[in-house]
Amino acid sequence: MNSYISRRPIQLAHKILRYYGITNPGQIDLNAICLDKGVLVIEAPLKGALARLVRNGKDRALVRVSDRIREVGQRRFAIAHEFGHFILHKKKNQLSLCHRSELLFWYQEFPLEEQEANAFAVALLMPDFLFEIRGCCESPTMATIERLSTEFKTSLTATTLRYLDFTRHDCAAIFSVDGRIKWFRTSENFPLRLLDMQTLVDADSFAGRLFAGHPYPGVPQQVPVGMWAEDHEFSQSFTIQEDAIYLKTYQTVISLISIQPSSPLYQFLTKRAVSTAW
């Protein structure tokens, strides 16, 4: 998401949550909040999009959500995105569409109004004041992501990216589609240079094995750094932790790679940073 986007969408989302006295994720009843603010949410057949906002006057609107959405997290994000348009963009055209690609890859660059609606949706469903305390110190594993996803009723994609906003670990999320790296995002100050987008996923990586149909081994794996990073100084000498999950509907694998504080790679990077500073 564009780092230059204003904080207004976030502030308005938090204002709404505090107005209703929400203090835990289970209280975020999205449909009830929308209805109280003048937005009726209905589920119905919809062509060409997953959600649509139609205004009916200045303070009323209808959000129509595709009945094809089966994932609770995706459905809630679609509604929150359109609700964001209703709150933020009073002069926007009467019709707003939310497409599948925007839901899966919502952290990429989109027109400013779409980014603002996404930022609003994230802040409404996973607000800083509720998410940070739950995610900042948790270990970088898909088990952590799945637990947070269940608690906040959000998609694995959205939860993974939100986790990166607050984690104190050095980690990155890499999204691979049909066996190639589609895009990635890192935690703040992640020290490695990752492989370029469209690079073929290594067949022996966790992601590569999932694409090949192998079962999930149940725990994160140690893989050579060179499978995901381009720093030739140590890419073949050290390992990095990789956990992953396969989103079959999208033919996408989310890989969560992380540098463990006790690992030789972490120790090497720490020494290199000290020597560079001197």
Which architecture does CATH list for 169-277?
Answer: 2-Layer Sandwich (3.30)
Phi and psi at residue 183, in whole multiples of 5°?
A: -170, 170
Three-class HEC string of 100-154: HHHHHCCCCCCCHHHHHHHHHHHHHHCCHHHHHHHHCCCCCCHHHHHHHHHHHCC
Q: What is the DSSP letter of 41?
A: E
How sure is the predictor about 268, in pLDDT bands with cuts at 50, 70 and 90? confident
pTM of the model: 0.90
Q: Parse the chain into domains and list their residue ranges.
A: 8-129, 169-277
pLDDT at 45 (0 to 100): 92
**Distances, alpha carbon 1 to alpha carbons 81, 118, 149, 227, 274, in Å:** 14, 9, 20, 26, 32
pLDDT at residue 102 tops 90: no
CB environment 199-211: b (16+ within 10 A), e (fewer): eebbeebbbbbbb
pLDDT at residue 23 tops 90: yes
Do the first three CATH levels of 8-129 and 169-277 match, i.e. the same topology? no
β-pairing, 221-224 vs 180-186, is unpaired
**CA-CA distance, 62 to 95, in Å (whole number)?**
10
> Residues of the chain with pLDDT > 70: what percent?
88
Q: At what angle do helices 142-152 and 156-166 cross, to 10 degrees?
A: 110
Mean pLDDT of 148-163: 95
Give the lowest-confidence range in 100-104, 153-157, 266-270.
100-104
Report yes or no: 140 and 169 within 8 Å, Cβ to Cβ.
Answer: yes
pLDDT at 2 (0 to 100): 47
Contacting residues for 43 by C-beta, under 8 A, at least 6 apart: 64, 65, 66, 67
Q: In sequence order, what DSSP letters do the residues of 214-229 get, joined into one string? A: PPP-SS-EEEEGGGTB
**CA-CA distance, 207 to 148, in Å (whole number)?**
22
Phi and psi at residue 196, in whole multiples of 5°?
A: -70, 155
Mean pLDDT of 109-134: 90
Q: What is the DSSP letter of 27?
A: G
How sure is the predictor about 107, in pLDDT bands with cuts at 50, 70 and 90? low
Phi and psi at residue 270, in whole multiples of 5°?
A: -65, -45
**CA-CA distance, 86 to 58, in Å (whole number)?**
9
pLDDT at residue 95 tops 90: no
Mean pLDDT of 139-159: 95
Mean pLDDT of 13-35: 97
**Distances, alpha carbon 177 to alpha carbons 82, 126, 248, 255, 264, in Å:** 26, 26, 10, 11, 31
- 8-129 has which CATH code? 1.10.10
pLDDT at residue 167 tops 60: yes
